[in-house]
Structure 1
Amino acid sequence: MTAGQLVVWRHGNTDWNREGRVQGGTDVPLNDLGRAQAAATARALAALAPTAIVSSDLRRAADTAAALAAQTGLPVRTDARLRERFFGQWQGRLMADVRREHAAAHARWTAGDPDPGCDIEPVDALAARGVAGLRAAHDPAGTTVVVSHGGTARYAVAGLLGWTAQARATLAGLDNCAWAVLAPRGAGWQLRAYNLTAPLDAAATGDLAGEPAESR
């Protein structure tokens, strides 16, 4: 790995992911599948010889980071700037109910409105704190693994790359326990890989369902 690379890693699966429930800033733990994902991915990421691990302080991210710490012996530093986007009135609600009860705001959010209402954190604020978290985590001499969330990872990665809102809209969210790799390039950054995953055994993958990353 090139010195100064950032590995941005989304947390493992939770029961709320499985149920289609909006997590946002709610502190929800990993489920059995999420712990299996974290363990498998930690083995893959340990091979990259990381020099630092920085995580959101929410349990689903911190416990994902702990799996890598167990593999590498590195400490985990937490940073609240890496938390998931705050989803206001939607937090704790099933997305199907949100779609029905907040139809107008949901349509704005789906269309990419940066400030759709319902007390949801505006995208500009989310991106700014996410980018600040990535910059603070960055070790220019090594490889830093940053553990975050679907929405925050998406907007922080796009923000660090300097993408416009139009370009950012083309970037999908990371799957549970998937990761992206960014490397310094001159005064900016380059996206080297995105949405990489480690294989799980059949027993673990039997519970895995595709879930939208943002809000989770």
Structure 2
Amino acid sequence: MTTLYLARHGETVDNVNQIMQGQTQGRLTDNGIRQAEALRDEMASATIDAVISSDLKRAVDTATIIAEPHRLPVATTKLLRERDWGSFTGRHIPELKDEVWPDDIETIEQLKQRAAEFIGMLRRDYAGKTVLAVGHGIINKAIQAVHYGKGMHEIPRMENAETRLLHIV
């Protein structure tokens, strides 16, 4: 069994400004850094064997802060990237309310496939380990949906720097 602490990155400038970040790098706000530091302090005494992050800067920066007391390197993977919002990327979220979704947005099926690949990687490469993985709101939701065999709509939204504990068998 693999124990997974699944975390969402700290607050970003685009979160505050309600910008659709998608797979852009993103930058933590001062508050986002404080959130990551608080999570670091909360998890300082936890046994963690490996730290994995999305390869996007906002997640890597969060993971690096949390990994400090464990003196662990941060491995990155594109499997943990946020949903690709295609031509919606960089747009103001409230303005998208009534827009027709373009064909270049990553589908829920594609997202869940990526989540399943991540879970498979954990089973294969981290069996019996405790892993901290830092991702993004929607990919984290997809990972939980696949793990629990639920619909995405059944998984509660994760706040910035929130963690959820999953046991991968």
Aligned counterpart in structure 2 of residue 21 of structure 1, from 19, 22, 40: 19
Aligned: 1:69 with 2:54: no
Note if 1:171 corresponds to 2:134. Answer: no
Uncovered stretches (5+) of structure 2, i.e. residues with no partner = none
Aligned length: 167
- Report the alpha carbon displacement of residue 104 of structure 1 after superposing the two structures with TM: 4.5
1:150 is matched with: 137
Q: Return the match for 2:128 from 130, 141, 145.
A: 141
Distance 1:146 1:134, change over 3 A: farther
Are the equivalent residues in 1 in contact too, given 2:19–2:92 (CA < 8 A)? yes
User: Normalising by the residue count of structure 2, what TM-score does the alignment of the two structures yield?
Assistant: 0.92
Give the 3-state SS of the residue equivalent to 2:141 in structure 1.
helix
Tell me the equivalent position of 2:95: 97
Q: Which runs of 4+ in 1 moved over 6 A?
A: none
Instruction: Return 127-136 or 9-18, whichever deviates more.
Output: 127-136
Task: Indicate if the aligned counterparts of 1:55 and 1:65 stay in contact, CA closer than 8 A.
Answer: yes
**Could you list the per-position Cα deviations for residues 71-126 of structure 1 after superposition, in whole angstroms to 9, with x for gaps in the alignment?**
21011100011100000111111111222xxx143xxxxxxxxxx53521001101
- Residue from 32, 35, 41 that aligns with 1:34: 32
Q: Answer with 1 or 2: which has the greater Rg.
A: 1
Match of 2:4 in 1: 6
CA distance in 1, matches of 2:116, 2:21: 21
* Higher RCO, Cα 8 Å, sep 6+: 2
Q: Separation in 2 of the partners of 1:135 and 1:32?
A: 35
Corresponding residue for residue 123 of structure 1: 108
Structure-1-length-normalised TM-score: 0.73
- Secondary structure, in 3 states, of the residue corresponding to 2:143? helix
- The unaligned stretches of length 5 or more in structure 1 are 106-115, 189-216
The percent of aligned pairs where both chains have the same amino acid is 31
8 Å contact 1:54–1:77 — kept in the other structure? yes
- RMSD after superposition: 1.5
Report the 3-state secondary structure (helix = DSSP H, G, I; strand = E; otherwise coil) of the residue aligned with 2:146: helix
SS in 1 for 2:134: strand
Contact 2:87–2:102 (Cα < 8 Å) also in 1 = no
1:160 equivalent in alignment to 2:167 = no
Paired residue secondary structure (1:84) = coil
Aligned to 1:81: 79
